[in-house]
Amino acid sequence: MLFCVRMDVSIPRDLDPAEREDTVARERAYSQELQRSGEWAHIWRIVGLYSNISIFDVDSNARLHEILSNLPLFPYMSIEVTALTEHPSAI
Amino acid sequence: MLFCVRMDVSIPRDLDPAEREDTVARERAYSQELQRSGEWAHIWRIVGLYSNISIFDVDSNARLHEILSNLPLFPYMSIEVTALTEHPSAI
Amino acid sequence: MLFCVRMDVSIPRDLDPAEREDTVARERAYSQELQRSGEWAHIWRIVGLYSNISIFDVDSNARLHEILSNLPLFPYMSIEVTALTEHPSAI
Amino acid sequence: MLFCVRMDVSIPRDLDPAEREDTVARERAYSQELQRSGEWAHIWRIVGLYSNISIFDVDSNARLHEILSNLPLFPYMSIEVTALTEHPSAI
Amino acid sequence: MLFCVRMDVSIPRDLDPAEREDTVARERAYSQELQRSGEWAHIWRIVGLYSNISIFDVDSNARLHEILSNLPLFPYMSIEVTALTEHPSAI
Amino acid sequence: MLFCVRMDVSIPRDLDPAEREDTVARERAYSQELQRSGEWAHIWRIVGLYSNISIFDVDSNARLHEILSNLPLFPYMSIEVTALTEHPSAI
Amino acid sequence: MLFCVRMDVSIPRDLDPAEREDTVARERAYSQELQRSGEWAHIWRIVGLYSNISIFDVDSNARLHEILSNLPLFPYMSIEVTALTEHPSAI
Amino acid sequence: MLFCVRMDVSIPRDLDPAEREDTVARERAYSQELQRSGEWAHIWRIVGLYSNISIFDVDSNARLHEILSNLPLFPYMSIEVTALTEHPSAI
Amino acid sequence: MLFCVRMDVSIPRDLDPAEREDTVARERAYSQELQRSGEWAHIWRIVGLYSNISIFDVDSNARLHEILSNLPLFPYMSIEVTALTEHPSAI
Amino acid sequence: MLFCVRMDVSIPRDLDPAEREDTVARERAYSQELQRSGEWAHIWRIVGLYSNISIFDVDSNARLHEILSNLPLFPYMSIEVTALTEHPSAI
């Protein structure tokens, strides 16, 4: 099942720089692992923002929540989820 | 260049049924032709709405405007365009 | 899979009264059939509005879209879909 | 009487970790006690958010306010209350 | 139980003048009957608008919905309901 | 003259507890004094929120501003003022 | 007592041209009469809009409502009222 | 003096086609005349919308209002005006 | 040229009290000087808020920006500027 | 390709003054270098705000993101990007 997820990141200025660097690195690794497994189908940067628009392809709502709530940057994100389905005009 | 485009369709109730049917058919053909050419990279239905989220891959802003403003359903749509770029964590 | 769906109904004043009555009757029958099958798990009226908050329990996003887009009152509704999952504190 | 309540939780980063853990544990116990008594009829997690949608079945507005304002996480929540009633199509 | 209800009225221009006059007269009679019974505890005009802010004192959510959905002007109103309770500082 | 005033209170977490307690106590005394004088005609708690909806009956805009800007909790409130007048259907 | 009032005018396209012209002429005469009496203290056009920002100086909320609800263009306006008082820095 | 003006155009479906064509043609001529005089300094199409973002360079607010309120498409536009001034970093 | 400017003031709680007092005093002196020169034509307090609605009469956008950006409270204000012009019905 | 970009700057009060001064100086140099190269085609100050409206002329979305995300003030800005194209009435 497909979902469009928009993530807007806002890391607090006073986060310890080492923790910041580590969190961002873990976020990247986590995202890439899910991209390889196919569950994180697409990720694009929004121009001019520290934000992304992503497409997830997961087995259930529960799995999507598990993925999103375990994002290393989850505490610093606002997230918007839109349920998608196949479009009748898609080829 | 990539763009995320959301289209919300609202066809007036009093549109002539034949014109409605014809417009919807032309919209589908138009969309599928652009999907085949690769410019309309993805199209998904938003669950519960007469709306889609699409990804376009075009050479320029001008080309995207040309595509969108010639949609047969353009007069009955509200459209939202978000410029995208490659995400540094994309694999 | 669970979804919370809010539906706000606004039937045009100039809809033919017989068509209106028929549409509302078909809506009720359609809803009750899905309630019996278990897919439309809950429906509540919002006090003071011609609106409801419902819980759907369906197998997929595609099935939810099929259900919602076939609502007899669909052309006269604005719909908002929120994906849900089990709460860790639920008993 | 039925109410739909949405709770969005935002615990401050600088809350003492022990206090945080204790507050979350008390929240869970408090919620489960009310679920057992039947007043907190349903609770669902919103996918991708630290939020829930709940249904309360209480004797009065006063009782609902008493329940909500005594939530251990109340100081860190934004809350939205919608009064519900039986839907004429409910079976 | 107390509720604050805001009603914004927008009667369509093309409503038959006799029907308009009759509806407004029935609205007034209906409101005054409920004021006399004590369920419609207060009604104030908002300055500069065709709107009111009212306080209802009813036995249940169901009764409030019954009252509001039977307002003669209901089809031409947008309504906002806020559940109230006694304030601890009230004398 | 009548005004509807909504007050949403948000006391900062780091306010000294003694100052907090003192401010809340002074707020209550201040409110009750004005309720006794008749200028603060009604006050209700909004269910689920640290907020109230109040009705003031004052001689002038200037007097209302004097009352509100001297609320002990004024620095921690967001306030919304709506001018009211007698409703033609009020009995 | 002073009030800031913003009026946004939207005359329906299908209003009979003679009625339109007559309504606009009556609006102007009505406004100028109140400007002469001093109750309509200021009126300014908002650049680029069919809107004005006005200052009223009236004896009561009731009088302001009487003035506004009798504007010939009242049925075609959206109106926003803000209660004002003397500023402590005003000279 | 510089102003940024955004214009969103929404021509009613039932406008007579000849009148529509004529109005659009007059709009273009009017715009080009002001572009030549230098008062309409820039005009850009917003991608995907029947909208433009323009920069005006005029002698006064009054002149800007005169220009905008005489746009042939003025009755079918929503307009947003932002006053600009030279940026200290501009070269 | 006339502008309506709304200023909402929010001084941080942790500002040094002496600096706060000094800033507010300088704001008042600055405002009164501009009122005397005629550029700050009107200033009114919004009832219930630490906000004002003002009318400025200046020679240019640049001058208005100079005035506003030099307000001693500028760092603690949110500001909204609306360009005005003479109203055709003003007497 | 053209883009309209609005930048609203909000530098935290507690930023070290030397860092603040340095960041603002680097922002100015960075902006002027891009103005000279032609990619930052226009920049205007919004009257009354610490904000600008700019026009960028770049080869791609990726280049625009590179420019914006490297702004020295990027961490303290909220940014809004609107894709533009040539207007058919532009001369």
Determine the Cα–Cα distance for residues J52 and H84; give it in Å rounded to an integer. Answer: 9
pLDDT interval class at E67 (50, 70, 90): very high
Considering chain G, what percentage of its residues have pLDDT values greater than 90? 100
Report pLDDT for A37. 98
In a domain, H90, yes or no: no
CB-CB contact of G3 with G55 (8 Å) = yes
Residue F91 lies in a domain: no
Touch of I by E (3+ CB pairs closer than 8 Å): no
What was the pLDDT predicted at I30?
98
Closest-CA residue of chain G to I84: G46
I50 CB neighbours in chain F (<8 A) are: 69
Convert the pLDDT of each residue in F6-55 to its tens digit.
999 999 999 999 999 999 999 999 999 999 999 999 999 999 999 999 99
**Average confidence (pLDDT) per 10 residues, chain J, 91 residues:** 98 96 98 98 98 98 98 98 97 93
Question: What's the pLDDT at F62?
Answer: 98
What pLDDT sits at residue C48?
98
Cα–Cα distance between D88 and D56 in angstroms, integer? 19
Percentage helix, strand, coil for chain F under 3-state DSSP, each rounded to 5: 35, 35, 30
Domain ranges, residue F29: 2-84
Pairs of residues, one from chain B and one from chain H, whose beta carbons lie less than 8 Å apart? 20
Cα–Cα distances in angstroms (integers) from residue D33 to residues B62, D8, D37, D57, in the given order: 60, 21, 6, 14
A24 within a domain of the structure (yes/no): yes
Supply the mean pLDDT for chain I: 98
Chain A: list its partners (3+ Cβ pairs within 8 Å). Answer: B, C, D, J
Query: The dihedral of CA I34, I40, I42, I47: what is its sign?
Result: negative
Task: Residue window 22-81, chain I: list those with CB within 8 Å of chain H.
Answer: 60-62, 64-65, 81
User: What φ, ψ does residue H5 adopt, rounded to 5°?
Assistant: -125, 125
Interface test with F, best of G6, G58, G85 (most F CBs within 10 A): G85
What's the pLDDT score for residue F51? 98
Q: Cβ contact (<8 Å) for C64 and B48?
A: yes
Cβ contact, residue pair A43, B90, below 8 Å: yes
Whether D89 maps to a domain, the answer reads no
**pLDDT value of residue I56:** 98
Looking up residue A7, the CATH number of its domain turns out to be 3.30.70.1060
**A13 conformational bin, left if phi > 0, alpha if psi -120 to 50, beta if neither:** alpha
Is 0.85 exceeded by the ipTM?
Answer: yes
I and B touching (3 or more beta-carbon pairs closer than 8 Å): no
Best residue in D54, D59, D79, D82 to probe F by mutation, most F CBs within 10 Å? D79
What values do phi and psi take at D13, rounded to 5? -55, -30
Measured between beta carbons, the chain F residues lying within 8 angstroms of G64 are 83, 85
Nearest CB among J28, J45, J82 relative to H46 is that of J82
CB contact under 8 A, G49 and H75: no
Query: Does F89 map to a domain?
Result: no
Chain I closest-CA separation from residue J46 CA (Å) = 8
Rounded to whole angstroms, the Cα distance separating G32 from E84 reads 44
H7 within some domain: yes
Q: What is the model's pLDDT at position J33?
A: 98
**Subunit contact D48:A80, Cβ cutoff 8 A:** yes
Q: Is residue G89 part of a domain?
A: no
Residues lower than pLDDT 50 in chain G: none
| Pick from H61, H64, H42: nearest CA to H52 | H42
Averaged pLDDT score across all residues of chain B: 98
Q: What does the pLDDT look like over H28-40, one tens digit per residue?
A: 999 999 999 999 9
Count of domains forming chain H: 1
Is chain F adjacent to chain E, meaning 3+ CB pairs within 8 angstroms? yes
Taking CA–CA distances from A85, the nearest residue in chain C reads C62
The two three-digit tokens of residue I77, written as one number: 């204000």
Residue I89 lies in a domain: no
Per-residue model confidence (pLDDT) at position A77: 97
User: Are F85 and E4 in contact (CB < 8 Å)?
Assistant: no
